[in-house]
């Protein structure tokens, strides 16, 4: 009789179930592997999919709908359980993996051979039909079925990027690696600055719109990169206080201030110029026009909050042209950034109250409560342990 694996499954919008799925059989020599899931964080895209907002990569050749029924979970840490016989499996940086190694992984499984994989290997732009995304594009009724981390075990496809986790990094912080890699958008903004006023200068002002886990990650990264004044907006006093603990200087509750007041506060805090960088991390399209007004001339507006299609918004493109605003989209993350990100978190382990980033911990059989809690204004990163 086949060994069965317990998994939390999103059967459809708003519906969570639990299934017993057969433990995968590894194929000789193909490089596949199995990970014992330790824990995984709930991502913003997980929340959207749970609510029925399923379109991702909209308007591109890789547009897809989340594939119900599916096992979510792609911000994970686990232990290599076994590797296909006759195979040598290496991590992204070329280190050989063995059973017992603690790892995390990139959610995107790319072909490695198409135009984008060859010309932009630092970013998962792959447009090959074989491209998949753990916890999003693959149903638990296709392939090896265990296609997400909210299960006791997970199948690691031969082309999936795997990363060894440093010995001293906690499991919670390992789960945060993928989120922190999204903040490479700030590295891009910093790259633009070359004594001409563009982009993100050392000591520059950064606004973060929306201070959930992604927004808080941008506060942390902005602080690491030498931001001067950091201003955050949100609807939750709990999240704003947390942002302050991580280094934000000015925290504005959008339910207690007007857009005009917030724009004026940003100008006053930046000598009348506006922010060097504004990061949209809320996933709410109506905040964009306000954010554009907060950007200074030649400043950068980073769009990192809309990983799924939640609808359009009107914006005045004359304002973008009039201020020479640079708009940078970040649909994903830098796949080259996992080891540097983990090492960076270790280096700064005493500089931030990291434990406060993780507001709730749940067991696998509490997954429905966990994902609903993650949508509460009084939650930050929610972690689900996959074993009792």
Mean pLDDT score, 369-379: 95
Same domain, yes or no: 320 and 361: no
Contact 220, 246 (CB under 8 A): yes
Contact 298, 323 (CB under 8 A): yes
Q: Is the pLDDT of residue 174 over 90?
A: yes
Task: Report residue 194's pLDDT band, with 50, 70 and 90 as the boundaries.
Answer: low
Mean pLDDT, the chain, integer: 94
- The pLDDT score that the predictor gives to residue 270 is 97
Q: Is the pLDDT of residue 140 over 70?
A: yes
- The pLDDT score that the predictor gives to residue 188 is 87
In a domain, 230, yes or no: yes
Taken in order 346, 352, 353, 358, is the CA torsion positive or negative? negative
Q: Is the pLDDT of residue 196 over 80?
A: no
Task: Report residue 310's pLDDT band, with 50, 70 and 90 as the boundaries.
Answer: confident
Residues paired with 252 in a beta bridge: 233
- The pLDDT score that the predictor gives to residue 1 is 55
Please write the tens of the pLDDT for every residue from 89-139. Answer: 999 999 999 999 999 999 999 999 999 999 988 889 899 999 999 999 999
In a domain, 241, yes or no: yes
Task: Report residue 331's pLDDT band, with 50, 70 and 90 as the boundaries.
Answer: confident
Same domain, yes or no: 127 and 192: no
Neighbouring CB atoms inside 10 A of 340's CB total 13
What's the domain count of the chain?
Answer: 2
Of 59 and 237, which is predicted with more confidence? 237
- Separation between Cα atoms, residue 340 and residue 319, nearest integer Å: 37
- The pLDDT score that the predictor gives to residue 156 is 98
Of 1 and 145, which is predicted with more confidence? 145
Task: Report residue 288's pLDDT band, with 50, 70 and 90 as the boundaries.
Answer: very high
- Separation between Cα atoms, residue 122 and residue 279, nearest integer Å: 21
In a domain, 137, yes or no: yes
Please write the tens of the pLDDT for every residue from 23-67. Answer: 999 999 999 999 999 999 999 889 999 999 888 888 788 788 889
Which residue range forms the structural domain that includes residue 318? Answer: 182-329
Same domain, yes or no: 188 and 276: yes
Same domain, yes or no: 322 and 288: yes
Same domain, yes or no: 86 and 46: yes
Q: Which two tokens stand for residue 32?
A: 């596949």
pTM, full prediction: 0.93
DSSP single-letter state for residue 113:
-
Q: Is the pLDDT of residue 193 over 90?
A: no
Same domain, yes or no: 140 and 11: yes
In a domain, 18, yes or no: yes
Spacing of C-alpha 225 from chain mean position: 19
Q: Is the pLDDT of residue 76 over 90?
A: yes
Residue with tokens 């059967």: 11
In a domain, 338, yes or no: no
In a domain, 174, yes or no: no
Between the two ends of the chain, the Cα-to-Cα distance in Å is: 23
Please identify, among 314, 329, 344, the residue that sits at the C-terminal boundary of a domain.
Answer: 329
Same domain, yes or no: 82 and 41: yes
- The pLDDT score that the predictor gives to residue 195 is 61
Query: Measuring CA to CA, which residue among 187, 192, 190, 193 is closest to residue 217?
Result: 187
For residue 242, CA distances in Å to 29, 232, 234 come to 48, 11, 11
For residue 120, CA distances in Å to 110, 126, 335 come to 12, 9, 10
Contact 189, 197 (CB under 8 A): no
Same domain, yes or no: 235 and 367: no
Same domain, yes or no: 151 and 200: no
DSSP 320-331: HHHTT-EEEE-S
Task: Report residue 337's pLDDT band, with 50, 70 and 90 as the boundaries.
Answer: very high
DSSP single-letter state for residue 24:
P
Task: Report residue 173's pLDDT band, with 50, 70 and 90 as the boundaries.
Answer: very high
Q: Is the pLDDT of residue 198 over 80?
A: no
Q: Identify the CATH number of the domain in which residue 39 sits.
A: 3.90.180.10
In a domain, 127, yes or no: yes
Same domain, yes or no: 199 and 322: yes
In a domain, 318, yes or no: yes
Same domain, yes or no: 316 and 372: no
β-strands 295-303, 132-133: how paired?
unpaired
- Separation between Cα atoms, residue 139 and residue 146, nearest integer Å: 9
Same domain, yes or no: 160 and 214: no
Q: Identify the CATH number of the domain in which residue 203 sits.
A: 3.40.50.720
- Separation between Cα atoms, residue 384 and residue 16, nearest integer Å: 14
């Amino acid at each position: 009789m086949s060994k069965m694996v317990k998994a939390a499954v999103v059967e459809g919008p708003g519906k969570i179930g639990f299934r017993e799925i057969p433990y995968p059989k590894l194929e000789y020599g193909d490089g596949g592997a199995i990970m014992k899931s330790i824990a995984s964080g709930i991502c913003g895209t997980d929340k959207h999919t749970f609510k029925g907002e399923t379109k991702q990569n909209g308007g591109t050749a890789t547009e897809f709908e989340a594939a119900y029924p599916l096992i979510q979970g792609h911000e994970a840490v686990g232990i290599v359980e076994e590797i296909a016989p006759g195979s040598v499996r290496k991590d992204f940086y070329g280190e050989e993996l063995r059973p017992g190694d603690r790892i995390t992984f990139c959610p995107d499984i790319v072909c490695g051979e198409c135009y984008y994989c060859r010309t932009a290997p630092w970013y998962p732009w792959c447009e090959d039909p074989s491209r998949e995304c753990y916890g999003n594009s693959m149903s638990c009724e296709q392939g090896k079925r265990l296609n997400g981390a909210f299960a006791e075990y997970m199948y690691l496809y031969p082309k999936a990027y795997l990363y060894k986790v440093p010995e001293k990094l906690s499991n919670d912080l390992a789960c945060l690696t993928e989120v922190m890699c999204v903040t490479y958008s700030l590295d891009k903004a910093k790259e633009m600055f070359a004594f001409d006023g563009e982009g993100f200068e050392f000591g520059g002002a950064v606004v973060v719109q929306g201070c959930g886990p992604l927004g808080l990650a941008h506060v942390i990264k902005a602080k690491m990169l030498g931001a001067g004044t950091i201003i955050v907006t949100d609807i939750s006093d709990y999240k704003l206080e947390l942002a302050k603990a991580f280094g934000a200087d000015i925290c504005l509750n959008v339910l207690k201030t007007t857009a005009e007041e917030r724009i004026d506060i940003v100008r006053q805090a930046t000598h009348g110029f506006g922010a060097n960088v504004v990061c949209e991390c809320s996933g709410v399209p109506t905040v964009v026009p306000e954010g554009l007004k907060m950007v200074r001339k030649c400043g950068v507006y980073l769009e990192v909050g809309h990983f799924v299609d939640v609808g359009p918004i009107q914006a005045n493109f004359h304002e973008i042209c009039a201020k020479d605003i640079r708009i940078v989209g970040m649909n994903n993350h830098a796949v080259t950034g996992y080891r540097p990100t983990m090492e960076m978190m270790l280096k700064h382990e005493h500089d931030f109250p990291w434990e406060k980033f993780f507001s709730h911990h749940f067991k696998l059989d509490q997954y429905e409560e966990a994902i609903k809690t993650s949508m509460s204004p009084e939650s930050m990163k929610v972690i689900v342990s996959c074993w009792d």
